[in-house]
């Protein structure tokens, strides 16, 4: 097991800087998720760790070894691609064993390792098939199998679930978490989906505009977002965020309150407003308010909450759950 260290990693394309100096320490065995909106540089960062992109400046170590200038195959990493990148002309067995055969390992050893990986991933009966004949979930498992036989120090996942439908995604999320529990290898996982980040990560790295916004455990980011960006990105439904006069009255530049931390009352409270729209989700209902002094505000209430459109309500923050940012 080895950790990964990034020291002031930068990446530019011509004059344009995409990664603007990243310092990050990933502990051995940790499941780290890079999350951020599209274009934040998370995939580029992962590809730099993989060695698929050159590092413009900075240093990268894996397991204490400086690998900044190493070829991808010399870094002790394995990667699962968003498209799976299975070789279409090879069978499942050949796909999984390709790296070993390139390294000219003896055939018996290749077979043994391929079979072991196939066994662990329930792929044994598919070993002679071509990728075209597999379902999405099976392809995903072959891609993971190909990564496992490399026996890597670090697993890299580049949005591996985004091509799957919702129910399969939930299942694969579980399988990957399970894999991590069994192998206890360091894993770095890129996603734009904050639900994947929250449910799988030991540590979340929120990236924005080529810089780290915040690093921490999922609940730490939820409870104590360091910036309005993190506050808005982590948590669903999104946190209500306000600037201007309303925030100034609250004593800060940006004021935030999550929908689940607002109580509604028909008689009194902090902010009077009118109900504009209600979304009943079953257990919960999302109440969209026009608050007089703030503007639109979303509050979470219980599913059968007796509110109606046009009704006048008072919203109040739950003490200790208000967020004040000086940016």
Partner 1 sequence: MPRLHKDKMRTDIMARIAQTISRSDSKATAETPDITERTAAGGETTRRRRPSPYPHWFLLPAAIIYTVLFLVPTATSFWYSMTRWDLKTATFIGFENFHQFFSEPFLVQGLVNTLIYAALTSAMKTVCGLGLAVLLTSDIVARGLLRAIVFFPVLVSTIGVGIAFTVMMHPTRGVFNVALASVGVAGPGWLTDPALALFSVALVDLWKGVGLATLIFIAGLSAISPDYYEAARIDGATRLQQFRRITLPLVRPATVTVVTLSLIGGLRSFDLIWAMTRGGPGFASDVIASVIYKQYQAGFYGLSTAGNVILFLLISVIILPLTVWFQRREVEQ
Partner 2 sequence: MTRTRRATTGIIALALAGIIFVIPFVFIGLQAGKSRTEAAMLAFSLPKAWLFWDNFVAVVTARDYQLLLAFFNSSLITVLSVAALVVLSAMVGYVMQRRPSAVTGLAQIFLLVGLMMPPAVVPTIGLLQSIGLFKTMTGMILIQIAYNLSFSTMLYRAFIATIPRDLDEAARIDGAKPRQIFFRVILPLLKPVTVTNIVVQSIAIFNDFTGPLYYLPGRDNVTVQLTLYNFQSAYATQYNLLFMNILLVTIPPLIVFIFFNRQIVAGMTAGAVKG
| Angstrom distance (rounded) from CA 11 to CA 90 | 35
Does residue 98 interact with partner 2 by CB under 8 A?
yes
Q: What share of the chain is helix, strand, coil (3-state, %, to 5)?
A: 30, 35, 35
Q: Of 12-20, 57-65, 96-104, 231-239, which segment contacts partner 2 by CB under 8 A?
A: 96-104
Please say whether the beta carbons of 1 and 28 come within 8 A: yes
Q: Among candidates 108, 111, 168, which has minimal Cα distance to 140?
A: 168
Site for partner 2 in 136-155 (CB under 8 A): 146, 150
Q: Given the complex with partner 1, which of 51 and 97 has the nearer CB atom?
A: 51
Closest approach of Cβ 192 to partner 2, in Å? 18
Residue range at the interface with partner 2 (CB under 8 A); choices 66-74, 194-202, 230-238, 318-326:
66-74
Token duo for residue 127:
């070993």
Token duo for residue 204: 């979340």
39 binds, among partner 2, partner 1, none (CB under 5 to 8 A by kind): partner 1
Binding part of the chain for partner 2, among 20-28, 73-81, 200-208, 281-289 by CB under 8 A, reads 73-81
> Does 116 engage in binding with partner 2 (CB under 8 A)?
no
Give, as ranges, the residues between 80 and 99 that touch partner 1 (CB under 8 A). 82-83
Segment 46 to 65, residues that bind partner 2, using CB under 8 A: 50-52
Nearest-angstrom CA–CA distance, 224 and 325: 11
Query: Residue 126 and residue 10: Cα distance in Å, rounded?
Result: 42
Question: Could you say whether residue 73 binds partner 1 (CB under 8 A)?
Answer: no
Instruction: At 137, list the tokens.
Output: 């979930």
- Closest distance of CB 302 from partner 2, Å: 46
Residue at token pair 């940790």 = 30
Indicate which of partner 1, partner 2, none lies near residue 137 (CB less than 5 to 8 Å, by partner kind): none
Q: Does 194 bind partner 1 (CB under 8 A)?
A: no
DSSP type of residue 239: P
Residue 240 and residue 259 in contact, taking contact as beta carbons nearer than 8 Å: yes
Helices (H), 150-295: 166-183, 194-200, 218-223, 228-233, 245-249
Q: Tell me if 102 contacts partner 2 by CB under 8 A.
A: yes
Helix (H, G, I), strand (E, B) or coil at 127: coil
Residues interacting with partner 1, by CB under 8 A? 12-14, 16, 18, 37-44, 47, 51, 53-57, 68-69, 71, 82-83, 208-210, 228-229, 232, 241-244, 246, 254, 294-296
Residues interacting with partner 2, by CB under 8 A? 50-52, 71-73, 77-79, 81-89, 98-99, 102-103, 146, 150
């Amino acid at each position: 097991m080895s950790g990964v260290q990034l020291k002031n990693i930068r990446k530019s394309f011509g004059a344009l800087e995409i990664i603007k100096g990243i310092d990050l320490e990933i502990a051995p065995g940790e499941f780290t998720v890079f999350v951020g909106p599209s274009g934040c540089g998370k995939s580029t960062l992962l590809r730099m760790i993989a060695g698929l992109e050159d590092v413009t400046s900075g240093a990268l170590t894996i397991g204490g070894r400086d690998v900044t200038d190493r070829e991808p195959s010399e870094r002790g990493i394995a990667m699962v691609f968003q498209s799976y990148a299975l070789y279409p002309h090879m069978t499942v067995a050949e796909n999984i064993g390709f790296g070993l055969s390139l390294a000219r390992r003896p055939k018996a050893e290749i077979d043994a390792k391929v079979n072991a990986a196939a066994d662990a991933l329930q792929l044994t009966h598919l070993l002679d098939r071509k990728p075209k004949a597999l379902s999405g979930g099976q392809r995903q498992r072959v891609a993971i199998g190909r990564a496992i036989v490399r026996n890597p120090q670090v697993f890299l996942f580049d949005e591996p679930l985004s091509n799957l439908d919702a129910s399969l995604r939930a299942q694969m999320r579980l399988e990957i978490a399970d894999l991590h529990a069994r192998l206890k290898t360091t894993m770095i996982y890129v996603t734009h989906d904050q639900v994947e980040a929250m449910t799988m990560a030991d540590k979340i790295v929120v990236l924005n505009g080529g810089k780290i916004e915040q690093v921490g455990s999922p609940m730490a980011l939820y409870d104590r977002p360091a910036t309005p960006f993190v506050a808005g990105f982590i948590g669903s439904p999104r946190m209500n965020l306000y600037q201007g006069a309303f925030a100034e009255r609250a004593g800060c530049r940006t004021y935030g309150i999550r929908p689940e931390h607002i109580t509604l009352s028909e008689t009194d409270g902090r902010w009077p407003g009118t109900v504009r729209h209600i979304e009943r989700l079953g257990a919960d209902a999302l109440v969209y308010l026009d608050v007089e002094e703030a503007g639109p505000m979303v509050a979470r209430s219980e599913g059968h909450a007796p509110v109606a459109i046009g009704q006048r309500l008072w919203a109040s923050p739950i003490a200790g759950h208000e967020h004040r940012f000086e940016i």
